[in-house]
Chain A
Amino acid sequence: MKQKRIIINKTKFNIIVERLSHQLIENHDDFRETVLIGIQPRGTHLCNRIHQKLSSIISNSIIKVGNLDITFFRDDFRRRQEPLEPQAIDIDFSIEGKNVVLIDDVLYTGRSVRAAMDALMTFGRPKSVELTVFIDRRFSRHLPIQPNYVGQKVDTITSEKVIVEWEEINGNDQVILLNSET
Chain B
Amino acid sequence: MKTLSTEHLLGIKYLTKEDISLIFKTADNFKRIINQPIKKVPSLRDITVANLFFENSTRTKLSFELAEKRLSADIINFSSSASSAKKGETLIDTINNIIAMKVDMVVIRHPNPGASVFLSRNIDAKIINAGDGTHEHPTQALLDAYSIRKKYGEVKGKKVVIIGDILHSRVALSNIYCLQKLGAKVCVCGPSTLIPKYINSLGVKHMSNLKEALNWCDIANVLRIQLERQDVKFFPSLREYAMVFGINKDILEGLNKEITIMHPGPINRGVELTSDVADSGQSIILDQVENGVAIRMAVLYLLAGKVKKNGK
Chains A and B come from one and the same complex: yes
Q: Which of A24-41 contact B (CB under 8 A)?
A: none
Cα separation A27 to B26 with both chains bound (whole Å)? 38
Instruction: Name the CB-closest residue of B to A87.
Output: B29
Chain A interfacial residues counted at CB < 8 A: 19
Task: Assess the B43–A77 pair: CB atoms within 8 A.
Answer: yes
Cα separation A77 to B307 with both chains bound (whole Å)? 10
B interface bracket (residues with beta carbon within 8 Å of A): 20 to 34
A77-B43, A78-B305, A89-B32 as given contacts; A83 in contact with B38, CB under 8 Å: no
Task: Assess the A77–B37 pair: CB atoms within 8 A.
Answer: no
Task: Assess the B305–A83 pair: CB atoms within 8 A.
Answer: yes
Task: Assess the A86–B36 pair: CB atoms within 8 A.
Answer: no
Instruction: Name the CB-closest residue of A to B307.
Output: A78
What residues on B are CB-neighbors of A124 within 8 Å?
37
Cα separation A170 to B46 with both chains bound (whole Å)? 38
Task: Assess the B3–A82 pair: CB atoms within 8 A.
Answer: yes
The stretch of A2-10, A115-123, A144-152, A172-180 in contact with B is A115-123
Task: Assess the A73–B41 pair: CB atoms within 8 A.
Answer: yes
Task: Assess the B42–A72 pair: CB atoms within 8 A.
Answer: yes
Cα separation A118 to B36 with both chains bound (whole Å)? 14
Instruction: Name the CB-closest residue of B to A91.
Output: B36
- Nearest Cβ in chain B — how far from A95, in angstroms? 10
A99 interface residue (CB < 8 Å to B): no
Contacting residue for B33 out of A72, A78, A118, CB 8 A? A72
| 28 residue pairs A–B, Cβ–Cβ below 8 Å | A69-B29, A71-B29, A72-B29, A72-B42, A72-B43, A73-B42, A73-B43, A77-B43, A78-B305, A78-B307, A78-B309, A82-B2, A82-B305, A83-B1, A83-B301, A85-B1, A85-B2, A86-B29, A89-B29, A89-B32, A89-B33, A122-B33, A122-B37, A122-B38, A122-B39, A122-B40, A122-B41, A123-B37
8 shortest interchain CB distances as A-B pairs: A85-B1, A72-B41, A122-B38, A83-B305, A86-B29, A72-B43, A89-B32, A122-B36
What residues on B are CB-neighbors of A89 within 8 Å?
29, 32-33
Chain B interface residues (CB < 8 Å from chain A): 1-3, 25-26, 29, 32-33, 36-43, 46, 71, 301-302, 304-305, 307, 309
A142 interface residue (CB < 8 Å to B): no
User: In this complex, which of A84, A86, A118, A122 has the most chain B Cβ atoms within 10 angstroms of its Cβ?
Assistant: A86
What residues on A are CB-neighbors of B309 within 8 Å?
78-79
What residues on A are CB-neighbors of B46 within 8 Å?
78
Cα separation A83 to B71 with both chains bound (whole Å)? 15
Instruction: Name the CB-closest residue of A to B40.
Output: A122
What residues on B are CB-neighbors of A82 within 8 Å?
1-3, 305
Contacting residue for A78 out of B1, B40, B304, CB 8 A? B304
Cα separation A103 to B197 with both chains bound (whole Å)? 60
Cα separation A118 to B40 with both chains bound (whole Å)? 11
What residues on A are CB-neighbors of B32 within 8 Å?
88-89
Cα separation A151 to B135 with both chains bound (whole Å)? 59
Q: Which of A132-155 contact B (CB under 8 A)?
A: none
Fill in one digit per residue for A13-51: 1 if any B CB lies within 8 Å of its CB, else 0: 000000000000000000000000000000000000000
Cα separation A82 to B29 with both chains bound (whole Å)? 18
Task: Assess the B37–A86 pair: CB atoms within 8 A.
Answer: no
- Nearest Cβ in chain B — how far from A93, in angstroms? 12
Task: Assess the A118–B42 pair: CB atoms within 8 A.
Answer: yes
Instruction: Name 20 extra pairs, CB < 8 A, besides A78-B46, A86-B29.
Output: A69-B29, A72-B41, A72-B42, A72-B301, A73-B41, A77-B43, A78-B304, A78-B305, A78-B309, A82-B3, A83-B305, A85-B2, A86-B25, A88-B32, A89-B33, A118-B42, A122-B38, A122-B40, A123-B37, A123-B38
What residues on A are CB-neighbors of B304 within 8 Å?
77-78
Cα separation A83 to B299 with both chains bound (whole Å)? 13
- Nearest Cβ in chain B — how far from A67, in angstroms? 12
